[in-house]
A and B are shown apart, each in its own frame.
Chain A
């Protein structure tokens, strides 16, 4: 046994050493007790707070955005549930190392993801960084499966915008997007945080405050893996208000189809109150692509497209008005008492100040009554020369030239109305009298937007009553908001310019003649049987004749063509302004307008049950199929009429009768008349009603 070997029997450890050990242990345990005291007694409150923060996380509940409806309450813009992915940096051990995995799992471009993070680097750590919106179920599954490896990923359910497909009314509606870094510095977005979705264009931007609602939040108790294990309080989100727009889905569709793939814009407005019934700008874009973060390539394509798809040409295209300006010239000339007595002989132009100004035809003897329908430049050169720039400028300003209309859409352009003062200020020389001649036919430095033209022509047709165009019913808005709206979107707005009734009659009758078939009438081919349709064409050269003679003709050198039409001719209930860029001939744009007017009138008649009854088909007798149908003669006539409806036709007895009726400006002419089946078929471009009915179901949104 062990004890036998040792010489240590009876030896003991020294008591001193053991006591040292005892005191040593006592000291160490006392130190521990002090540590506990420090943490649990002195630091209790602080650590309790930390423990709370550890387990409670505020999860935002995003308010669904208000929906948009058309004037008849038909759904235009809807929401659909979607899931967004955020990255919470505070959670993460080493985000950078995880990025490749995240990029792979979420199908993101690694470089783009890195640049997103760099972009938001300056934010406080607790703020989540939005990295991908509208993630797919697969990506959701990826996040759920990697909770432990990637605790920094978080998902939030949101309601996302669903816009009509094919860019329908895209420019009017606008789109929403993440608030940008620059916006955040803007006081308007003071309350916003990165990742917040705000209106970026169109109605979405103007009425963002109403549409957006108020986000709520929920205090969620989470465990260390970020799993929810319960929650405390919930502050519910207040959904945004729905808005009813003034646009009419049917007319909007008709306008979209009428403009087709041509580059240009259409504004259809009710001149009585300024309600915009349709607004089209082509080429368009798909705002649904903006709802999710748009591809950089797609975005660049939109930005660099020479036809500017992102531009709302209806309010932003500033171009020379061409002959549409002659209506204003007529107002000025008649009011000043000059035009009544002005008689000129047009021999294809006239000399002014040592320079020959062309007219496109030899109109012969011209006075104010045929100057408008024939659009005789020579007459208006003379009129302009007599009026002088100052008087032209005065009337132009009264009708809103060179000033925003105050439409409730962002980024409207003011156009430009040159004046002696303007030339002096910007070019430091005196006004050349020759410039007045050009201005007289809407050329030169003068620039207008389609919506300005719509407002001005409808003002003239309404005896001087001008309106502020708007896309949302003022009755939908609070008085404060309405007031703020006027401050945010200033412009010429509502107004009244007294026009002598005689002047009013002469000009509106002249405009009605424009669409009447006639030798010099500029838009006879746009004539609508049975509809009192007046208007004015405009052809604006984009390049001078002299320059053009040195250049090859191409699409870009073709003139821009305008048409501004109203129906009926006086106190109209619809004005349509059409711009077709590089459209070459102004009666083309008139035909586009005529389709829209026809669609409008057709709809109003349907609503009033005022459509002509379809001709009853005679019953077909069995066994008589080889015989001649009883209505063959009548049908052939109708066919001929239909073909004629599109292009130049010679006036016939029926039509002359109607024209006579219309020009009387009777109450019957104010509300369009019932017409015979043959006339209706000829009046309304044949494809339209079918297109319309086919288009309508498409409006109900489907997920892109």
Chain B
């Protein structure tokens, strides 16, 4: 089968918005690391973005149907590699997340996200959008639950949580009924409450991190420290901000890891309400544009892929920004396209690449 394919159908407008965000990210990474031992991280970040762009275009060229074919194999490989991390992984700051492949270090949990998007899209597309049976729902849970558990024991709570929107989006769009959703919600809630009070699943520091956002002043030097400093950073930015490279919270190292998880706080401090809202608008534009692409996709799996990407991105944005402004607990989830970090940048660009892939093939057949 020969298909007509052109980069004219590539979503250049979406790419433009993405690149603007990347530029903002680079400037902020520069500002937050300029006087630290992390100086010149922006150069590294630029290389990651370049690599991400290249990856995006490559991934866009490969037909997403072929990707869906590969997805189960990839899924198997990554589940095995997650187990391998558990066994031979290198321990960094108390968690085993990295696996060494020759000179490269490799964090499988980030890639699992992309694979899960594809696998879940494939699974629900195969079910054809009709009403789901309980058996099918539990299969979907198992599909996502296995890697989730493997990542949770690393332990990496943040990444574990980012898998869940894929499942939720899949179930919602895949045809779960209202009744089923209600029952699941009830069971899920009781499970979470049970897990919380049993004290076996979550480590005390994880619990403390999850609850301290509610009242950071209880222990301002302890678990509430990050939240408190973040709130001060954002709040003191005011409407217009303190100006680039002039944030006292950021430059005085009060704000924890201001170039990754708390980059939005640093940005809000230095560029104020106006800057923060502008970034939120850019995200809103990107998400809406993706949903529009999902709508115009040629087939159900295409739509589901894009909506999986939308779910992951939305979840990350809302949780990260929510954390920075004190609505959400500190979970270590990076802000897509803004936070420094190769894995995050690569995942985001590859995920966008898959979405572009679907868009480019919307008129095929």
CA–CA, A700 and B358, complex, Å: 91
Q: Which A residues are CB-close (under 8 A) to B65?
A: 1-3
**How big is chain A's contact interface, by range?**
35 or more
Q: Which of A28, A40, A43 has the most CB of B within 10 A?
A: A40
Is the beta-carbon distance between A47 and B234 smaller than 8 angstroms? yes
Is the beta-carbon distance between B300 and A51 smaller than 8 angstroms? no
In whole Å, how far is A26's beta carbon from the nearest beta carbon of chain B? 7
Q: Which A residues are CB-close (under 8 A) to B8?
A: none
User: Is A486 positioned at the interface, with any CB of B under 8 Å from its CB?
Assistant: no
User: Is A123 positioned at the interface, with any CB of B under 8 Å from its CB?
Assistant: no
User: Is A424 positioned at the interface, with any CB of B under 8 Å from its CB?
Assistant: no
Is the beta-carbon distance between A225 and B253 smaller than 8 angstroms? yes
User: Is A549 positioned at the interface, with any CB of B under 8 Å from its CB?
Assistant: no
User: Is A631 positioned at the interface, with any CB of B under 8 Å from its CB?
Assistant: no
CA–CA, A221 and B66, complex, Å: 59
User: Is A92 positioned at the interface, with any CB of B under 8 Å from its CB?
Assistant: yes
CA–CA, A547 and B236, complex, Å: 85
User: Is B272 positioned at the interface, with any CB of A under 8 Å from its CB?
Assistant: yes
Q: Which A residues are CB-close (under 8 A) to B237?
A: 40, 44
Q: Which of B172, B239, B303 contacts A44 (CB 8 A)?
A: B239
Looking at chain A's contact residues, the main secondary structure is helix
User: Is B252 positioned at the interface, with any CB of A under 8 Å from its CB?
Assistant: yes
User: Is B206 positioned at the interface, with any CB of A under 8 Å from its CB?
Assistant: no
Nearest residue in A to B283 (C-beta to C-beta)?
Answer: A29
Is the beta-carbon distance between A35 and B125 smaller than 8 angstroms? no
Is the beta-carbon distance between B235 and A48 smaller than 8 angstroms? yes
Q: Which B residues are CB-close (under 8 A) to A6?
A: 125-126, 128, 299-301
B190-245 at interface with A (beta carbon < 8 Å): 221-222, 225, 229, 231-239
CA–CA, A13 and B310, complex, Å: 14
Segment touching B, from A14-22, A100-108, A330-338, A379-387:
A14-22
Is the beta-carbon distance between B294 and A48 smaller than 8 angstroms? no
Nearest residue in A to B234 (C-beta to C-beta)?
Answer: A39
In whole Å, how far is B355's beta carbon from the nearest beta carbon of chain A? 14
Q: Which B residues are CB-close (under 8 A) to A223?
A: 252-254
Is the beta-carbon distance between B173 and A17 smaller than 8 angstroms? yes
User: Is B287 positioned at the interface, with any CB of A under 8 Å from its CB?
Assistant: yes
Q: Which A residues are CB-close (under 8 A) to B273?
A: 36-37, 40-41
CA–CA, A7 and B321, complex, Å: 41
CA–CA, A8 and B297, complex, Å: 13
Is the beta-carbon distance between B239 and A21 smaller than 8 angstroms? no
In whole Å, how far is B158's beta carbon from the nearest beta carbon of chain A? 18
In whole Å, how far is B317's beta carbon from the nearest beta carbon of chain A? 8
Is the beta-carbon distance between B128 and A32 smaller than 8 angstroms? no
CA–CA, A229 and B69, complex, Å: 58
Is the beta-carbon distance between B299 and A32 smaller than 8 angstroms? no
In whole Å, how far is A582's beta carbon from the nearest beta carbon of chain B? 61
With contacts A29-B283, A32-B327 known, is A13 near B303, CB below 8 A? yes
B243-284 at interface with A (beta carbon < 8 Å): 248-249, 252-254, 268, 272-273, 276-277, 280, 283-284
Q: Which of A10, A40, A44 contacts B276 (CB 8 A)?
A: A40
Chain A 28-66 against B: per-residue CB contact (8 Å), 1 yes, 0 no?
110111011101110110111011101100000000000
Q: Which A residues are CB-close (under 8 A) to B125?
A: 6, 8
Q: Which of A25, A33, A41, A91 contacts B287 (CB 8 A)?
A: A25
User: Is B322 positioned at the interface, with any CB of A under 8 Å from its CB?
Assistant: yes
Is the beta-carbon distance between B253 and A224 smaller than 8 angstroms? yes
In whole Å, how far is A663's beta carbon from the nearest beta carbon of chain B? 83
CA–CA, A51 and B325, complex, Å: 15
CA–CA, A222 and B66, complex, Å: 57
Is the beta-carbon distance between A31 and B300 smaller than 8 angstroms? no
Nearest residue in A to B311 (C-beta to C-beta)?
Answer: A21
User: Is A12 positioned at the interface, with any CB of B under 8 Å from its CB?
Assistant: yes
Q: Which B residues are CB-close (under 8 A) to A26?
A: 284
Q: Which of A2, A7, A40, A221 contacts B234 (CB 8 A)?
A: A40
CA–CA, A10 and B294, complex, Å: 14
CA–CA, A329 and B15, complex, Å: 114
Is the beta-carbon distance between B284 and A29 smaller than 8 angstroms? yes
Nearest residue in A to B241 (C-beta to C-beta)?
Answer: A40
In whole Å, how far is B304's beta carbon from the nearest beta carbon of chain A? 7
CA–CA, A11 and B302, complex, Å: 11
User: Is A93 positioned at the interface, with any CB of B under 8 Å from its CB?
Assistant: yes
User: Is B307 positioned at the interface, with any CB of A under 8 Å from its CB?
Assistant: yes
CA–CA, A50 and B63, complex, Å: 54
Is the beta-carbon distance between A31 and B254 smaller than 8 angstroms? no
With contacts A44-B238, A44-B239, A224-B252 known, is A13 near B128, CB below 8 A? no
CA–CA, A6 and B248, complex, Å: 57
Nearest residue in A to B64 (C-beta to C-beta)?
Answer: A2
Is the beta-carbon distance between A11 and B129 smaller than 8 angstroms? yes
With contacts A1-B69, A51-B236 known, is A18 near B294, CB below 8 A? yes
Jot down 10 A-B pairs with beta carbons below 8 A, ordered by A: A2-B301, A6-B128, A12-B303, A29-B317, A36-B276, A36-B280, A40-B237, A40-B276, A47-B232, A223-B254
Report B's interface with A, CB cutoff 8 A: 1, 63, 65-66, 68-69, 122, 125-126, 128-129, 169, 172-173, 221-222, 225, 229, 231-239, 248-249, 252-254, 268, 272-273, 276-277, 280, 283-284, 287-288, 291, 294-295, 297, 299-301, 303-304, 307, 310, 314, 317-318, 321-322, 325-327, 365
> Which 4 pairs show the lowest CB-CB distances between chains A and B?
A47-B235, A51-B236, A2-B65, A40-B273
